[in-house]
Amino acid sequence: MILLKKWKRYIAEFIAILISGFVAIPLYLVVINSFKTKADAAEMSLSLPKVWNVLKNYEEVLKAAKIPQAFWNTSVVTVGSIIVLIILCSLTAFIIQRRNSATTRITEMLIITGIILPITVITTFYLMDSLGLVRTYMGVILLYVSGNFAFTTYLYISFIKGIPRELDEAAMIDGIGRVSLFFKIIFPLLKPATATAVIVAFMSIWNDFFTPFYFLNTASRYTLSVTIYFFMGQHSSDWNLVFANIVIVSFPVIILYLFMQRYIISGLTAGAVKS
């Protein structure tokens, strides 16, 4: 009986490793081929490189795909959007949750609809064009904020429900102003929700292709995801370089995942379930 159980366990462990292989082998292939020479990489085999072409490949990609520029572009829009998003959504959620009026109820309904619906990209482009915001950081930041606004606000609303009103009232008795009430008393208590919101927004904005492809479509403003797309178009036979580009672009996210895996997984899943 015990022997059987042990057997079963070994089989299960084996299956687990086998399943992991379906994900791990493609990833390994990308990394290992990014170290090879062009001819070697064209075979796309799982073997180790005959010649380790690491520095040469990565240097070439950094230069040819203008990675430093793209990295800067991606950072500007990601960080800018997240800061505005966090401040606006937490504040909006606070008012909606605390005050029960026709205005807040209608706002909440709009927000729930906004979570589901896709953006209508052509009319958005028309609007951005009229405002002179196409191909600007500012324009893309505004789009990311409005695009993530509904979801992030909703996330905050469900979290603020758990913060007792008595806290507000105590601060009010002390004669606190309304802006201080929110930013000094409430906002610091929202840290867990803010962490979730930042992770969800970071992952979706950093990796996004759709928005910069439409709205930031000029070589000097390419984001990292967009560089992969255009770089592959120009270097479709240099798989070593294409793979190196993928590795470079994924690198920041991978580092984050290695160190903050628990938070990222719980953040992304909590974010999804709350909505």
Partner 1 sequence: MLQRYYYSHMLLVPGLILFGVFFIVPSLAAFYFAFTNMDAAFQVTRWVGFDNFRILFEDDDAILAFKNTFIFAAITTVFKVLLGFFLAIFANQKLKSVLFLRSVIFFPAILSTVGVATAFVSFMHPSNGLLNGFLELVHLDALKRSWLTDPSIVIYSISLVEIWKWTGFSMMLFLAALQTISQDVIESARIDGASSWRMIKDITVPMIMPVLNTTVILNLIGGLKVFDIVYALTGGGPGSASSVLNTLVYRAFSNGRNGEATAANLLLFVIVLVVVLLVNRILNRPTER
Query: What residues between 38 and 77 interact with partner 1 by CB under 8 A?
Result: 42-45
Within 187-206, the residues that bind partner 1 by CB under 8 A are 203, 206
**Three-state DSSP class for residue 101:** coil
**Measured from the CB of residue 96, what is the shortest distance to partner 1 in angstroms?**
7
**Interface with partner 1, residue 15, by CB under 8 A:** yes
Q: Is the CB of 76 or the CB of 84 nearer to partner 1?
A: 84
Burial group, residue 26, by CB count within 10 angstroms (0-12, 13-18, 19+): exposed
User: 241-263 burial, b if ≥16 CB within 10 A, otherwise e?
Assistant: bbbbbbbbbbeeeeebeeeeeeb
- The whole-angstrom separation of Cα 209 and Cα 231 is 14
Both structure tokens of 138: 């500012």
Evaluate whether 227 touches 237 at the Cβ level (below 8 Å). no
Task: Decide if residue 255 touches partner 1 (CB under 8 A).
Answer: no
Binding track over 212-251 against partner 1, x by CB under 8 A: -xx---------xxx-xx--x------x--xx--x--xx-
Q: 108 to 127, contacts with partner 1 by CB under 8 A?
A: 110-111, 114, 116-127
- Judged by CB under 8 A, the residue of 1, 3, 55, 273 near partner 1 is 273
CB of 274 to partner 1, least distance (A): 9
| Binding window for partner 1 (CB under 8 A); candidates: 49-57, 63-71, 138-146, 190-198 | 138-146
Q: Put residue 134 in one of left, alpha, beta given phi > 0 → left and psi -120 to 50 → alpha.
A: beta
